[in-house]
Structure 1
């Protein structure tokens, strides 16, 4: 029998999946309206955003969106923690392949891991098809707690994509297996949106971890997230950025352990006490940049990546927003 170490090395080309569903709500900019007076006055334009709403195990969002820079406003109206991740699958592969081919492998592996059989569990990943190594994660939101709203801005090229959430139910079943997968089409027509201007810049890499200026005042901020590099970590996923508000009873060790899905208690409902996830920017390839906005009240916060041993990798950074 091969050792767990050999299995992980063999599977190291793999990212995590199991993919995403629902329907999109796209809001376009409105044109100026004419008043009844002879003098025309421009009406205040509507925000050009794509809304995603989760009420249960779903993504309510449009099937087709424009290419270029798009801001996604994700409203988590469900009782569970979620995120959305945009995946570029190989040509001809859809969410049906994710659900019928990829999903069962992850479910089987997680079941064995939770039964205390990690070697057998990780061995299951050898059953993934070769084409799965071609899947590219192109961004999305960070984790989002119930009744929270997050805004994430990413640049998408025309093509077909899949959206997913792979947080786990209390029994270890991935949300993807509960129906949180969806196919979307990004049209050649450009959104017309411009790249955002951030007031807080974050760099993330496997060598330096999370680097940013932690002197942050209260109020609304736009964060940029630059992926200096991207690698596959021990749990088969790349690094990302998640913004977390920490209450007085928050335990950083519990948070760090929970962020590793491969741990039997990781990325599983319920999330740790004293933790409020506020979004961020999900996995992106090396050299890419994404943005997220957040309204910060005075208090303690953290930026953390969904990797094992985030603290030792400098991918768990706390900061305080003063009164």
Structure 2
């Protein structure tokens, strides 16, 4: 098969997918959610969407039904002129070096920033990690809605295998472009609100089984940065130690975010420190004991436990 024919078939397939995706947003002439369905596989993403999306509100649904490890969706926007390949090679190879030197004891944690300045590409400061860490354990589904501006993006998973290899380096990434045209997708209107204070998780919600949509409000300090920028839902067992879970969520630790996870994760969010709010949904299928966790780096996490009857 000639390269010309292959290229033609690829373009036709892309056009068809884009048309199907567009039609799904125009049903009955009403505003429809722009939804990207993502199936996690050890270690890849199977994405049911074209790799060109309209700008605006987009809902990402991560299904982790087929994988044996915990996974996440992390969204990064690339600086102008930086390619997906640049990120996956120059940037990620530098991060592998940083992680190895730190975990081998060659590099102190306090020295990671300076060492990063030496080996990371000059354009690294221009990366924007918009939304991440909606951790989903095997058999669960995580969902979040985020506003995407035009540009080049990657959908990635920063968790590690049992051997300590970053999932991105195993092939767990999906490259896509956000176009200038804006989708007619509605602004999220969740049923419940969670406010993250400096030392408290405030929640207006009655815990019952079913799917629940949340808006997370991020209180800020005097410098305009949020006290906390993440929130996660976990299912508790009798032996669950939330302090150990908080330590496991520290990516820099030798066992941090490394398979297997110490608890069942049911979704959540992590956003930029300057963000005002975030949107996500979780699905609670069974009665039991649960906890909201705010990961705190080099400190004790913030927790709020509850029971679903």
Query: How far 1:47 moved relative to its partner?
Result: 6.9
Q: CA, structure 1 residues 30+135, in 2 after alignment: closer, same or farther (shift >3 Å)?
A: closer
Q: Which runs of 5+ in 2 are unaligned?
A: 1-13
More displaced stretch, 282-291 vs 168-177: 282-291
Structure 1 residue matching 2:58: 3-state secondary structure:
strand
Q: List aligned pairs for 1:138-217, cutoff 5 A.
A: 138-140=130-132, 142-204=134-196, 207-208=198-199, 210-213=201-204, 216-217=207-208
Q: Distance in 2 between matches of 1:177 and 1:250?
A: 30
Q: Is the 8 A contact 1:142 1:243 kept in 2?
A: no
Residue 120 (structure 2) pairs with residue 128 (structure 1): yes
Residue aligning to 1:114 = 103
Which of 58, 66, 73 aligns to 1:84? It is 73
Task: Give the direction of change, closer, same or farther, for the CA distance of 1:322–1:173 in structure 2 (3 Å limit).
Answer: closer
For 2:271, what is the secondary structure of its paired residue? Answer: coil
- TM-score normalised over the length of structure 1: 0.76
> d(CA) in 2 for partners of 1:97 and 1:111?
20
For residues 34-65 of structure 1, the C-alpha deviation after alignment (integer angstroms, 9 at most, x for no partner) is xxxxxxxx9xx997521011222212223111
What SS is found at the alignment partner of 1:49?
A: strand
**Does the CA contact (< 8 Å) of 1:246 and 1:276 recur in 2?**
yes
Following superposition of structure 1 onto structure 2, how do residues 47-86 of structure 1 map, counting pairs within 5 Å?
A: 48-61=34-47, 62-76=50-64, 77-86=66-75
Deviations, residues 56-96 of structure 1 (Å, cap 9, x unaligned): 22122231112111111111221111111111121111221
Counterpart in the other structure of 2:212: 221
Alpha-carbon distance, 1:279 to partner: 1.3
- SS of the residue aligned with 2:60? strand
Coordinate RMSD, CA, aligned: 3.0
Report the structure, 1 or 2, having the larger helix content: 2
Q: SS at 1:188's partner residue?
A: strand
**Is 1:96 the counterpart of 2:85 in the alignment?**
yes
Residue 44 of structure 2 aligns to a residue whose secondary structure is coil
Distance 1:110 1:231, change over 3 A: farther
| Structure 1 pair 138–209 and aligned structure 2 pair: CA distance change class (3 A) | farther
- 8 Å Cα contact 1:67-1:188 kept in structure 2: yes
Query: In the alignment, which residue of structure 1 is the partner of 2:10?
Result: none
Q: How far apart are the structure 2 equivalents of 1:196 and 1:47?
A: 9
Structure 1 equivalent of residue 302 of structure 2:
316
> Tell me, what secondary structure is at the counterpart of 1:217?
coil
Please name the residue that 1:280 is paired with.
268
Kindly tell me: are residues 70 and 104 of structure 1, through their superposed partners in 2, closer, same or farther at Cα, counting changes over 3 Å?
Answer: same
TM-score relative to the length of structure 2: 0.79
Q: 1:55 to 1:287 in 2, by over 3 A?
A: closer
Gaps of 5+ in 1: 1-22, 33-41
> How many residue pairs end up in the alignment?
280
Q: Is the 8 A contact 2:201 2:302 kept in 1?
A: yes
